[in-house]
Homo-oligomer: A and B are copies of this chain.
């Protein structure tokens, strides 16, 4: 036992160190590495990735994990128990899937995003179809390899991204949305709001947007000694430890609010990892417990705090001070209405809060049908367009603004989309629980986001991934997942 534990800890240390290199390289690549450097960097990466793989798949390490997993009851440390369980689960793929099939699939997905990107640019689904078919063929085989008494089919994939959430939970969730939200969305989006041309057609200088994002860092108490804000093509959060979790944003001069809300969104993600208990830094438990819980934090900070009238009551004067010319004459109420407007659209990443989950619901149904074999990849565009018409009342004119819009499937991420919608729904439930302990509106009006951060730390963040999403929800809200909080939140917000 002692020897296995020692081996485990030794390997964990090395795996974390190589993981650190991969993290840093990718951060550099996404934010500033010069264009011509890609070839050299890829070569160095390949050499170290090979060393990394040797360590991760060392028989000595696999044996240690197996032994410890078989003797979990002899381990007292609760966190270590959780960690061993997760390590064993993560290694299942390596052990159960034939190595050549796995390698073939890795090559396939590493090349698929190029194929996808080209097909999207040329609005040509049939170019992408053969690749996508292979990806789904593999995933249908994969779920067979990983099948257990408890989990089968699409559930295996769903559970990989959000532990404990399978079709049972998601069907309940999406059926609720279908029943309560679909008619409501049609009603709300039938009327179109009008806003000042200053907001819709203005030019908002980059440097001023930057200044406001820097101001937001202090407002949200995103610790500058543990993170930083930089620019990249698409905003993201990239963390490696509670002492180093960085974010990016992107400034569009024709869009004032994009950088504001992406900065807040990413700070929500970053606060989660910065507020992880530092005792997890050297373990595999550092980080968020799931994509859904992670997204609940980013969306709660962005939408529920960041788009609230209380928030802008305090911070709109600062925004107007910086954009003194650009926002002249725009009232607080008009600005708040503008950042909370709703509109049906075809593109998921441009969707507003109200309609976002419906975009996800469409992808969920399609993934389910593809994995079950009820839908063929070649029939995908037709099915996609029909669902958009059924749920959102609009129909893509091209596959580019339809089934070709997302990169995810090309990377093999099937079962991932549903966590996005779950995040927003979790957020609504968590908000209500928090509001019982703490008057959120008052905290926002007092510019006391530290009090909010203290709550999220205590009830969610500090646990890192030592608890499952269901456990976190129970700790934070004292009840199981209930999608009605989300429906109520949206209805309450968008009711006119």
Residues on A facing B (Cβ under 8 Å): 13-14, 16-18, 20-21, 24-25, 27-28, 32-37, 39-41, 43-44, 47-48, 51, 207, 223-228, 230, 240-241, 243-244, 246, 281-282
Contacts and interface: CB of A to CB of B under 8 A. Distances in A.
Contacts of A282: 43
Given A243-B39, A281-B40, A47 B14 contact: yes
A13 B225 contact: no
B225 A36 contact: yes
A244 B44 CA distance: 13
A488 to B, nearest CB: 39
A18 B45 CA distance: 10
Contact of A228 (B14, B24, B32, B244): B32
Contacts of A281: 40
Name A's interface SS.
helix
A35 B224 CA distance: 8
Nearest to A19: B44
Contacts of A44: 16-17, 20-21
Given A17-B48, A21-B21, A34 B241 contact: no
Contacts of A20: 40-41, 44
A206 to B, nearest CB: 12
A40 B243 contact: yes
Given A39-B243, A243-B40, A17 B47 contact: yes
B34 A21 contact: no
Contact of A243 (B17, B32, B37, B48): B37
A39 B244 CA distance: 10
B225 A35 contact: yes
A136 B224 CA distance: 41
A43 B13 CA distance: 9
A314 B21 CA distance: 45
A21 B34 CA distance: 16
A39 B282 CA distance: 11
A34 B227 contact: yes
Contacts of A13: 47
Q: How many copies does the complex hold?
A: 2
A55 to B, nearest CB: 9
B224 A34 contact: yes
A36 B228 contact: no
Contact of A244 (B37, B48, B224): B37
A435 B225 CA distance: 50
Contacts of A28: 24, 27-28
Contacts of A241: 37, 40
11 contacts: A14-B47, A17-B43, A20-B40, A21-B48, A32-B228, A34-B228, A35-B225, A36-B225, A40-B244, A43-B282, A51-B51
Contacts of A16: 44, 47
Contacts of A27: 28
Contact of A240 (B36, B40, B225): B40
A244 B36 contact: yes
A51 to B, nearest CB: 7
A226 B18 contact: no
Given A16-B44, A40-B244, 7 more contacts: A17-B47, A21-B24, A24-B25, A34-B227, A34-B228, A36-B226, A40-B241
A18 B44 CA distance: 8
A24 B39 CA distance: 15
Closest 9 CB pairs of A and B: A37-B244, A17-B47, A20-B44, A36-B243, A35-B225, A36-B225, A40-B241, A17-B44, A37-B243
Contact of A226 (B37, B51, B240, B244): B37
A224 B225 CA distance: 29
A34 B240 contact: no
Nearest to A286: B40
A242 to B, nearest CB: 9
A104 to B, nearest CB: 25
A57 B13 CA distance: 22
A226 to B, nearest CB: 5
A381 B356 CA distance: 72
